[in-house]
Amino acid sequence: MGMMWACSAASLACSRRLSRASRARRVGRLGRLAARGSEWSAGLQDPREFESEEDYLKTLEADGELPKGFRIANSNLTFIPEEAQEMGELPMRLTVLCLEEPSDMAAAVFTQNAFPGAPVRVGRCRFADKAKLQAVVVNNKISNVSPPDSDGGVSASEELCLELAKKLNLPGGGESVLPSSTGVIGWRLPVKEMVQALPTEEMLKGGSAVAAARGIMTTDRYPKLSAKTFDAGAKLVGIAKGAGMIEPNMATMLSFLMTDISFERTELQAMLEECVAASFNAISVDGDESTSDTVVLISSGRASADVSKEEFKAALKEVCCDLAAQVVRNGEGTQHVIRVSVSGADTDDTARRVGKAVVNGPLFKSAVAGNDPNVGRLIGKVGQTLGTDGAKMARDCVCKIGGETIFENGQFRLDTAKEQRLSSHLKFAAADCQLPYPQHRRVVDVEVVLGTGSGKAVVLGSDLTTEYVKINADYRS
């Protein structure tokens, strides 16, 4: 029996190796295999694949150890929304990220939406006052945006912060707590039920950040985490949530970045703004900017080794880009991630506008969802964005999908064999949007060359599926 089991195990291991080798050859045919993180590089494909939810979660756990000086806790509650009592009891989760000591090493960027949620307004005040922070409290289900309270939900967020500070014995009181909310817009927070369910000091645990990544999920199918370990054990760990209402403009997507490396607050703020511009502000699932978009970076300062500013900023950009790509991949109903690499534009802003227009074009997104290489929809959207003012760039425009030139010198370059290869490329990038884990990190590779200008940008977006419509037609329930 032992010999049979050993032979069976060896056969299974061999089968998995052959399967992975076969997948690698397929990647080689349909896109250049490259290093982790190549989702943002034109012509390349990220090699990561996951065979099951267990396989994916093991990968997160391997990366997810919290930096020194951080602990987390989750709790659950139920409530009946005042605005929709006929819906009965609904679930809500509370997630707390806590530092062992207050820290003035923090940075944040928030939504530029004209109707920001109360937590965003409170957060802006915290940073304007240069408050030392010791905890972040996050709730899902209700975003606390412009409810019919006298102060638009601010007192509700502040009460939650104060009560958490009491439960955790935080010396800085409620002002040392940063609130963050995501979910239905317009409803009041059930403050009484939330206060009763707030985690206690005894519930705070070190170890893995995966539980926090799970805790902040809403319509997300799986948790999102990215990390970087430096020499001597210093750490940067980020988590994110977001699946719909995604086109951040931070200058219902949340991301929290934790590190134990010490930097001045002004340095952290400058690095965060630069990295967010190239990552979270360069993605779109549905073209809708949330009223709650928030990215927070906070340091415990507990690392024993120094890390240079350049090394840390490079790691911060890598983690932000990785999380941003995961947000798109986990988009509501997303089957394909679309990467649009634009170069040769007159400015970076023009390149970014073209990229955003392509990933937000419902006709092109729908074609991608159906694995239909309807390239006229791509060219039409590029031309619409350039307009008559961009006539010179339009004349020089070259477009490619999956490395195949489909348009140049003002004419399409298509034939039957190329159509088949284009369709194969779309199928190669497809994934099952029902699974509780990402099957792979591949993308639909779109390149747009507009001439010889220096402007360039890379934008990630998703396709448009019937599942997206189904989710958002019934979101509140």
Which residues carry out catalysis? Answer: 252
Helix (H, G, I), strand (E, B) or coil at 244: coil
Alpha helices in 361-415 (DSSP H): 362-369, 375-386, 391-395
Residue 169 is labelled as binding a ligand: no
Decide: 417 and 26 in contact? Cβ < 8 Å.
no
Task: Write the CA distances from 22 to 16, 59, 240, 413, 431, integer angstroms.
Answer: 10, 22, 32, 31, 18
Which of 176, 180, 186, 178 has the alpha carbon at shortest distance from 152?
A: 186
Residue 241 is labelled as binding a ligand: yes
Decide: 196 and 94 in contact? Cβ < 8 Å.
no
The beta strand positions in 351-443, using DSSP E, are: 398-401, 404-408, 411-412
d(CA 287, CA 185): 17
Residue 6: exposed, middle, or buried by beta-carbon count in 10 A (0-12, 13-18, 19+)? exposed
The H or E element spanning position 215 is helix 210-215
Residue 418 is labelled as binding a ligand: no
- Residues 6 or more apart whose Cβ sits within 8 Å of residue 270: none
Residue 465 is labelled as binding a ligand: no
Residue 365 is labelled as binding a ligand: no
Residue that is written with structure tokens 């994934």 in the block: 431
Residue that is written with structure tokens 């709730």 in the block: 139
Decide: 373 and 349 in contact? Cβ < 8 Å.
no
d(CA 43, CA 371): 19
Which of 59, 51, 62 has the alpha carbon at shortest distance from 19?
A: 51
Which of 44, 46, 114 has the alpha carbon at shortest distance from 291?
A: 114
The residues with which 119 forms a beta bridge, in sequence order, are none
d(CA 270, CA 299): 15
Residue 477 is labelled as binding a ligand: yes
Task: Write the CA distances from 225 to 58, 60, 92, 320, 339, integer angstroms.
Answer: 12, 7, 21, 10, 21
Q: Which residues are annotated as a binding site?
A: 218, 241, 252, 332, 472, 477
Binding residues for substrate: 218, 241, 252, 332, 472, 477
